[in-house]
Amino acid sequence: MVVLGAFADQCAPLLIGAPVRVVINPAWREGVASSIRMGVENIRDESDGAVILLCDQTAAHSAVIDKAISTGKRSRLALTAMHRSARLFRERAFR
């Protein structure tokens, strides 16, 4: 899933044919939390979890994402975070 906001009309055509579902966030002016909320609300039941990436995380290539997923599964914690250097560290769920 890709959540689009401010430039949805320009970005959505670039995703045609990509294996993703596009969700438009009409409340994008409220900030990134509204886009995260929109994504979480649209997760389908068959999903085991979510990977949240912001548009400026261009260094997060598939190997880094795969490592985050495997670390999260192994740790059984609710949250696995990626650090700027692409090192992974575990955090407790937000309380």
Q: What is the pLDDT along the chain (95 residues), one digit of tens a residue?
A: 999 999 999 999 999 999 999 999 999 999 989 998 999 898 877 777 788 877 766 667 788 788 878 887 887 766 666 655 544 434 444 33
**Ranges of H-type helices in the chain:** 8-11, 32-41, 62-75
List the domain boundaries for the chain: 1-50, 55-95
Q: Residue 60: what pLDDT?
A: 72
Q: What does the block give as tokens for 22?
A: 């596009």
pTM: 0.71
Pairing of strands 22-24, 2-4: parallel
